[in-house]
């Protein structure tokens, strides 16, 4: 069956199941966007932002029980449970469908079914994938229009891809978490999501297709799908060194990808290629090449301002959808630190729950996981190569966590295999990006714990295999912008100043920066970091670069049961690196 006919047949089946009153095929046009926004403004689901300050921008408040990804309700449905692994919730495909099909039956009665063909990846890229989402949420459609290439580009690519497309069935259902399921069928390359309209639960091109299904496909086909930003660091000679960075949700990818360098006058500048997802393939030159499958950002609002991230502020200055932020009396968005240092909003600001914040002094004004959806093309630092069909060549991978203790500002792995172990052992404090407790250290290997669509042990095996297949594998680093002093203050200024750490990496890659060898990897010598113009004491720098034997022994011990869960799926090389770390820690002086 030709691509479009197969697409139509799939939609017909979805409609037979969900029984919408109306089916609307979306083309991604401006007129269509305005019509949908107009409907949501009219029915009270959206508010218009101040047209002078934030043209063509809107506020949406989600259901208060639907504000972040719900990992406990997210499933990988493979024939064999061990293919999903201990890192995922699992249901057999047949059981999952039997359980969830009744929730979809007739769910769209009285509603419109929107049919959204979309493209993940640059137009014309051999790596681009066609998705098809059917949804009963106009808000989801509007977000897809910003974060994907929607409509004709997808249909055009369908023919080039031999008709291959990745369907996703989505309904907000009744929004009850008791009837919420985000189901992935990697063997069928299918997604079913019901009961949530928020972010990664509902924009099926993002985490569901571009990470969970794509990571499975990468494993089977010899490429990689990673929860990574992609940036280019331009040096004073004008050369650009590309890096991919995997930090867990709400741990700094968007901010690092859009960094404004305080050393721009010396020729150091950062270009943004992507802020959340990278698809990587070996190129003919023996390097890994990365594309950003997305067309826009779904970025964390709180903390974003003109000092921390001016490029994000410019990106969200127009044509943006704000979700769960506060609304000031003059219809501007509000979140903590929207102006540097601002903790309280203007009088009369409406909180994310829709009430004057003064009436609910105990509620957050903006939800901690409030976000902006903005076109990537509006980012002032967007790379001239961000839509290159083949992507950009990656020279470094940066793993990162949010750790008040333990992890130093930066260190470099000894080699690829050790780097894979560094990623596999990553721990990070949980954030508001997923429901559940915030600030608890959990293992989040390669920042992929919530997104790896198969057994994480096999995933590490795949990383090791990829390293053998590429002649010039990227150097691997680990960073921590979030180390704190005993009073709970961040030791490192972060944000734009992180360029100094990127410069050290650049020096390591190009053979010009010094390091000292420690038990965990190479750590900068104090004078190998360029701290010119930065007010930081040598005591603070010492704290930032300290490797504490006891902290690391504790870390090592925490990793034991974690790696243990994977049984035979744990690659021998990862187990060997874990043991080697123990020997180096034992040899460390007290």
Task: Enumerate residues 269-298 that contact ligand SPV by CB under 6 A.
Answer: 276, 298
Tokens 């929860």 label which residue?
227
Residue of the chain from 169, 190, 433, 501 that contacts ligand SPV (CB under 6 A): 433
Structure tokens at 136: 């009963």
Task: Enumerate residues 289-348 that contact ligand GTP by CB under 6 A.
Answer: 299-300, 302-303, 308
Q: Which of 155, 153, 173, 175 is nearest to 164 (CA)?
A: 155
Task: Enumerate residues 260-279 that contact ligand GTP by CB under 6 A.
Answer: 275-276
Shortest separation between residue 212's beta carbon and Mn ion, angstroms: 12
- Determine how β-strand 229-234 pairs with β-strand 371-375: unpaired
Choose the one of Mn ion, ligand GTP, ligand SPV, none that binds residue 200, judging by a C-beta under 5 to 8 angstroms depending on kind: ligand SPV
Does the footprint of ligand SPV cover residue 249 (CB under 6 A)? yes
Tokens 């180096």 label which residue?
584
Q: Which residue is nearest to Mn ion (CB)?
A: 276
Choose the one of ligand SPV, ligand GTP, Mn ion, none that binds residue 498, judging by a C-beta under 5 to 8 angstroms depending on kind: ligand GTP
Q: Which of 292, 551, 355 is nearest to 441 (CA)?
A: 551
Task: Give me the 225-254 binding string for ligand GTP, x by CB under 6 A, dash otherwise.
Answer: ----------------------x-xxxxxx
- Cβ closer to Mn ion: 78 or 254? 254
CB atoms near residue 153 (< 10 Å): 21
Does the footprint of ligand SPV cover residue 144 (CB under 6 A)? no
Residues across the chain: 590
CA gap 130, 148 in Å, rounded: 10
Tokens 């057994």 label which residue?
455
Could you give the angle at which helices 214-221 and 456-469 cross, rounded to 10 degrees?
50
- Cβ closer to ligand GTP: 133 or 276? 276
Shortest separation between residue 498's beta carbon and ligand GTP, angstroms: 5
Does the footprint of ligand SPV cover residue 452 (CB under 6 A)? no
Shortest separation between residue 276's beta carbon and Mn ion, angstroms: 4
- Cβ closer to ligand SPV: 66 or 577? 66
Shortest separation between residue 297's beta carbon and ligand SPV, angstroms: 9
Instruction: State the number of binding residues for ligand SPV (CB under 6 A).
Output: 9
Dihedral of the alpha carbons of 102, 104, 110, 114, in degrees to the nearest 10:
-170
Instruction: State the number of binding residues for ligand GTP (CB under 6 A).
Output: 22
Q: Which of 209, 206, 169 is nearest to 189 (CA)?
A: 209
Shortest separation between residue 383's beta carbon and ligand GTP, angstroms: 17
Q: Is 251 known to be catalytic? A: yes
Eight-state DSSP code of residue 222: T
CA gap 319, 325 in Å, rounded: 16
In which element (H, E) is residue 389 found? none
Eight-state DSSP code of residue 387: T
Q: Which stretch binds ligand SPV (CB under 6 A): 13-21, 199-207, 285-293, 494-502?
A: 199-207
Q: Which stretch binds ligand SPV (CB under 6 A): 117-125, 200-208, 373-381, 545-553?
A: 200-208
Shortest separation between residue 493's beta carbon and ligand GTP, angstroms: 8
Eight-state DSSP code of residue 247: -
203 sits in the region (left: phi over 0; alpha: psi -120 to 50; else beta) called beta
CA 502 to chain centroid, in Å, comes to 20
Residue of the chain from 151, 199, 336, 391 that contacts ligand SPV (CB under 6 A): 199
Task: Supply angle C-alpha 97, 102, 103, rounded to 5.
Answer: 100
Q: How many helices (H) and strands (E) does the chain have?
A: 16, 29
- Cβ closer to ligand GTP: 32 or 226? 226
Q: Which of 414, 383, 416 is nearest to 523 (CA)?
A: 414
Which segments within 329-376 are labelled E, that is strand? 333-334, 371-375
Task: Give me the 488-517 binding string for ligand GTP, x by CB under 6 A, dash otherwise.
Answer: --x---xx--x-------------------
Residue of the chain from 61, 69, 145, 500 that contacts ligand SPV (CB under 6 A): 69
Task: Select which of 26, 142, 251, 379 is catalytic.
Answer: 251
Does the footprint of ligand SPV cover residue 207 (CB under 6 A)? yes
CB atoms near residue 395 (< 10 Å): 22
CB 403 within 8 A of CB 551: no
- Cβ closer to ligand GTP: 14 or 502? 502
Eight-state DSSP code of residue 208: I
- Cβ closer to Mn ion: 276 or 444? 276
Can you give the binding site for ligand GTP, defined by CB under 6 A? Answer: 247, 249-255, 275-276, 299-300, 302-303, 308, 433, 481-482, 490, 494-495, 498
Active site residues: 251
Can you give the binding site for ligand SPV, defined by CB under 6 A? Answer: 69, 199-200, 206-207, 249, 276, 298, 433
């Amino acid at each position: 069956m030709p691509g479009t006919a197969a697409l139509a047949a799939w939609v017909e089946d979805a409609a037979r199941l969900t029984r919408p009153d109306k089916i609307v095929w979306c083309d991604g046009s401006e007129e269509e966007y305005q019509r949908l926004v107009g409907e949501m403004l009219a029915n009270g689901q959206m508010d218009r932002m101040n047209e002078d300050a934030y043209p063509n921008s809107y506020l949406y408040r989600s259901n208060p029980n639907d504000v972040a990804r719900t990992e406990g309700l997210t499933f990988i449905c493979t024939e064999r449970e061990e293919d999903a692994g201990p890192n995922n919730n699992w249901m057999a495909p047949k059981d999952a469908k039997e359980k969830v099909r009744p929730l979809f039956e007739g769910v769209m009665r009285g509603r419109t079914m929107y049919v959204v063909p979309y493209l993940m990846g640059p137009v014309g890229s051999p790596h681009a994938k066609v998705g098809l989402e059917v949804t009963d949420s106009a808000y989801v459609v509007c977000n897809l229009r910003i974060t994907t290439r929607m409509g004709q580009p997808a249909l055009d690519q369908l023919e080039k891809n031999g008709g291959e497309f990745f369907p996703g069935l989505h309904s907000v259902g009744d929004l009850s978490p008791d009837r919420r399921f985000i189901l992935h069928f990697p063997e069928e390359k299918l997604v079913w999501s019901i009961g949530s309209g928020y972010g990664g639960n509902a924009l099926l091109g993002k985490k569901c297709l571009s990470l969970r299904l794509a990571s499975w496909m990468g494993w089977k086909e010899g490429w990689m799908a990673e929860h990574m930003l992609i940036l280019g660091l331009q040096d004073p000679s004008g050369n650009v060194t590309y890096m991919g960075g995997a930090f867990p949700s709400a741990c700094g990818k968007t901010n690092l990808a859009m960094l404004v360098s305080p050393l721009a006058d010396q020729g150091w500048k950062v270009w943004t290629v992507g802020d959340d997802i990278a698809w990587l393939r070996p190129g003919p030159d023996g390097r890994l090449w990365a594309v950003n499958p997305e067309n826009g950002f779904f970025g964390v609002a709180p903390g974003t301002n003109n000092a921390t991230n001016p490029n994000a502020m410019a990106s969200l200055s127009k044509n943006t959808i704000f979700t769960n932020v506060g609304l000031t009396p003059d219809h501007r968005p509000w979140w903590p630190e929207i102006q540097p240092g601002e903790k309280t909003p203007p009088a009369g600001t409406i909180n994310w729950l829709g009430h004057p914040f003064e009436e609910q002094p105990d509620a957050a004004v903006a939800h901690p996981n409030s976000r902006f959806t903005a076109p990537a093309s509006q980012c002032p630092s967007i790379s001239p190569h961000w839509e290159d069909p083949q992507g950009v060549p990656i020279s470094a991978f940066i793993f990162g966590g949010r750790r008040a203790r333990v992890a130093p500002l930066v260190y470099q792995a000894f080699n690829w295999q050790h780097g894979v172990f560094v990623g596999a052992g990553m721990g990070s404090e949980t954030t508001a990006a997923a429901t559940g407790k915030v600030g608890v250290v959990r293992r989040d290997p390669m920042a992929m714990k919530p997104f790896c669509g198969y057994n994480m042990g096999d995933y590490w095996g795949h990383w090791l295999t990829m390293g053998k297949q590429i002649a010039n594998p990227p150097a691997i680093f680990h960073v921590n912008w979030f180390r704190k002093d005993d009073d709970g203050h961040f030791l490192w200024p972060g944000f734009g100043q992180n360029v100094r750490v990127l410069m050290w990496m650049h020096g390591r890659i190009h053979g010009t920066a010094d390091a000292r060898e420690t038990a965990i990897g190479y750590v900068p010598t104090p004078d190998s970091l360029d701290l010119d113009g930065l007010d930081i004491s040598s005591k603070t720098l010492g704290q930032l670069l300290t490797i504490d034997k006891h902290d690391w022994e504790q870390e090592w011990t925490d990793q034991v049961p974690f790696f243990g869960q994977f049984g035979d799926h744990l690659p021998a090389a990862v187990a060997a690196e874990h043991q080697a770390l123990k020997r180096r820690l034992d040899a460390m002086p007290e």
